[in-house]
């Protein structure tokens, strides 16, 4: 959800440049099940433009209607939405609506936290009842300092508190700059992930070759900055060069990404790993066993786009620690 909040901050800055007020809607509680969980947010601009979503689409119009009073009096309120009588939903949503006017200091520190890939915390005080919530609302903790989203929000001694620890944005690191990397970058970006592409200087690639990516990293394999790889980074090794793949693996053995996948058939992977062990007999076996290759789930993918979906689906299963299964075969509810 960090990437969604990052977008909200960006869109708020655009709105203020147009002298438009904003209201933030956050799902803070839930009875039963819903399309999305508490912690999802949506920004509503004064011109009725909505950024983000708090459901699959059935709630947003009501949120827009309820937000009008917050625009008028700048006082927070809590709205409820009973989905039990609507198709597709079986729960009651509790949604906090509050004026969203973060200070320049908050935005500056927030952008620094995002750039440095640090975590942060959001706390929202509320009462689980429909109505005005004067003084209630959100605080964000950045680098050990708390900031409110508006000047009306105060600390509440008697209130329910929804707390959300936000991790750094999920990052996808694609090592290799061929056409399939363009497709993976496109789908990764559409998921809200930060996408970096790593190439060697001799490949003569530019960031414009990969529309929308956050960074193009140009290093020889032996110079790659592995210290920048954190637990929220998923890596796909896809240089289409056996020698390059081996050199990168020699560097990556000292990192701990959340996922490491390698393109190519099983025989190629086994040859790579065998030679990797020969180069370093003391290599951590957990690193070897954690390599996913061939990367992706067996969903019958054939085209570059389908293969990209297959790979990203596997990355999600690893990140979320899930075993792929069709929902029709799942015995438990989809939304626990």
Domain annotation covers residue 325? no
Residues 125 and 152 in one domain: yes
- Domain boundary (139, 166, 193) is at 166
Residues 211 and 305 in one domain: yes
Domain annotation covers residue 335? no
Residues 103 and 199 in one domain: no
Domain annotation covers residue 25? yes
Average pLDDT for runs of 10 along the chain of length 336 = 91 95 94 79 95 81 92 94 63 91 95 94 94 94 94 91 94 93 94 94 93 95 93 94 93 92 91 88 86 92 92 94 79 59
Give how many domains the chain has, as a whole number. Answer: 2
Domain annotation covers residue 257? yes
Domain annotation covers residue 334? no
Domain annotation covers residue 23? yes
- Domain boundary (116, 131, 166) is at 166
Structure confidence at residue 333 (pLDDT): 60
Domain annotation covers residue 336? no
User: What is the CATH classification number for the domain harbouring 284?
Assistant: 3.40.50.720
Residues 239 and 153 in one domain: no
Residues 88 and 129 in one domain: yes
3-state SS, the chain, equals CHHHHHHHHHHHHHHHHCCCCEEEEEEEEEECCCCCCCCCEEEEECCCCEEECCCCCCCHHHHHHHHHHHHHHCCCEEEEEEHHHCCCCCCEEEEEEEECCCCHHHHHHHHHHHHCCCCEEEEEEECCCCEECCCCCEEEEECCEEEECCCCCCCCCCCEEEEEEECCCCEEEEECCCHHHHHHHHHHHHCCCEEEEEECHHHCCCHHHCCCCCEEEECCHHHCCHHHCCCCEEEEECCCCHHHHHHHHHHHCCCCCCEEEECCCHHHHHHHHHHHHHHCCCCCHHHHHCEECCCCCCCCCCCHHHHHHHHHHHHHHHHCCCCCCCHHHCCCCCCC
- Domain boundary (122, 137, 166) is at 166
Residues 136 and 180 in one domain: no
Residues 75 and 214 in one domain: no
Residues 47 and 182 in one domain: no
Residues 25 and 147 in one domain: yes
Residues 158 and 296 in one domain: no
> Domain range spanning residue 148?
2-166
Residues 195 and 154 in one domain: no
């Amino acid at each position: 959800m960090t990437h969604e909040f990052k977008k909200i901050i960006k869109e708020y800055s655009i709105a203020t440049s147009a002298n438009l007020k904003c209201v933030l809607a956050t799902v803070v509680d839930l009875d039963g099940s819903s399309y999305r969980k508490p912690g999802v947010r949506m920004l509503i601009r004064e011109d009725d433009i909505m950024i983000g979503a708090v459901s699959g689409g059935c709630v947003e119009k009501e949120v827009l209607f309820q937000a009008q009073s917050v625009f008028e009096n700048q006082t927070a309120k809590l709205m409820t939405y009973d989905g039990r009588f609507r198709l597709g939903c079986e729960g009651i949503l509790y949604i906090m609506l509050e004026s969203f006017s973060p200070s320049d200091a908050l935005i500056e520190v927030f952008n620094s936290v995002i750039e440095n890939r640090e975590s942060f915390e959001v706390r929202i005080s509320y009462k689980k009842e429909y109505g005005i919530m004067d003084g209630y609302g959100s605080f964000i903790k950045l680098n050990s300092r708390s900031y409110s989203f508006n000047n009306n929000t105060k600390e509440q001694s008697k209130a329910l508190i929804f707390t959300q620890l936000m991790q750094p944005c999920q990052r996808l690191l694609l090592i290799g700059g061929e056409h399939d990397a363009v497709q993976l970058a496109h789908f990764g970006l559409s998921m809200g992930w930060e996408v970096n592409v790593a190439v060697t200087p001799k490949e003569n690639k530019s960031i414009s070759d990969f529309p929308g990516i956050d960074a193009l990293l140009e290093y020889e394999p032996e110079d790659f900055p592995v210290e920048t790889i954190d637990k929220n980074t998923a890596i796909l090794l896809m240089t289409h060069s056996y020698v390059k793949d081996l050199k990168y693996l020699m560097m990556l053995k000292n990192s701990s990404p959340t996922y490491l996948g390698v393109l190519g058939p099983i025989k190629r992977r086994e040859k790579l790993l065998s030679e990797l062990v020969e180069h370093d007999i003391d290599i951590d076996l957990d690193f070897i066993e954690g390599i996913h290759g061939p990367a992706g789930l067996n969903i019958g993918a054939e085209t570059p786009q389908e293969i990209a979906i297959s790979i990203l689906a596997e990355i999600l299963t690893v990140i979320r620690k899930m075993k792929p299964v069709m929902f029709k075969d799942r015995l438990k509810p989809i939304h626990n």
